[in-house]
Amino acid sequence: MDRVAVFVDAGYLFAQGSVAIAGSKRSRPDLVLDAPAVVQEFKRVAETRAANCSLLRIYWYDGTATGSRPTAEQALMAHQDDVKLRLGFLNSVGQQKGVDSLIVTDLIELARQKAICDAVLISGDEDVRVGVQIAQNYGVRVHLLGIEPSRANQSQQLLQEADTTTEWPAETVRRFLALRPQQEHEAVSEPAVDRAREQSAGQLCEDHRLEAEVRLLVEALEATELEAIRVYWRTDRGVPSEFDRKLLPRCRDAIGRDLAIDEKRQIRAAFQTLVRVRLKSH
């Protein structure tokens, strides 16, 4: 069947994408992904490399903490048209595990079932090479996509195994990936905080320092992050884990001590309230 599938190792995309746009690897919290934009870039590559094929779907492989729900960002990606979210897990130091085996399994199975004739693969790990070899034995052409300088961040054996290779320059990566602006606490005056406080009904946290930190974080959220939270709340409740991991340490540092249970509850409730205010204004 004349169809093409796209297989995306999200860990590679974020790590090497950040190098391309910033000169060094950055952590996920430092990056903002435009999900619709990156999907369009995937489709553009698929159309170029498999011109006579229709798109089956885009497989997005990422990791999540064991027992945890998908993050808001992952939920947003899962809700994009033509995208299938596939999750491995993160170990104690935040490294993806199980992602390569998922890619290999899906690539081989789709090839064996003759569901695809071409595959676009975005990865740099040599562990996926066996999947490439077996898929090719079933007649599938594999097109490897990397991010500059791909010869420095993709396995040489994987590059040699692929039928074609393509490299995204930094200017392409910037269409869908950006650095999060660094927020300077000193730049926010007390009058500015007071004005922001007046825009909502009542006091959200008993300690104004905590409320100010929550507001600063919410006001810094990008439009894509707000949309990710909106999508997350369609099926889940509370503060998405990736934002909770920023929110609580930030508030703890603001008051110089560990947070009490009631304070954590107030902080999370304030975050949700302020995010809903921003969502209504968009």
Q: What are the tokens at 85?
A: 């979210």
CATH number for the region 3-178 comes to: 3.40.50.1010
In the block, residue with structure tokens 């170029």: 48
Domain spans in the chain, listed from the N-terminal domain onward: 3-178, 181-281
pLDDT tens column, 167-215: 999 999 999 999 988 754 444 444 444 444 444 444 667 778 888 899 9
Residue 194 CB-density burial (10 A; 0-12 exposed, 13-18 middle, 19+ buried) = exposed
pLDDT tens column, 89-138: 665 545 556 789 999 999 999 999 999 999 999 999 999 999 999 999 99
Helical H segments across the chain, by residue range: 10-22, 35-49, 72-78, 99-112, 129-137, 150-153, 156-161, 170-173, 190-198, 208-219, 223-232, 241-255, 261-281
Question: Reduced to 3 states, what is the DSSP secondary structure of residue 31?
Answer: strand
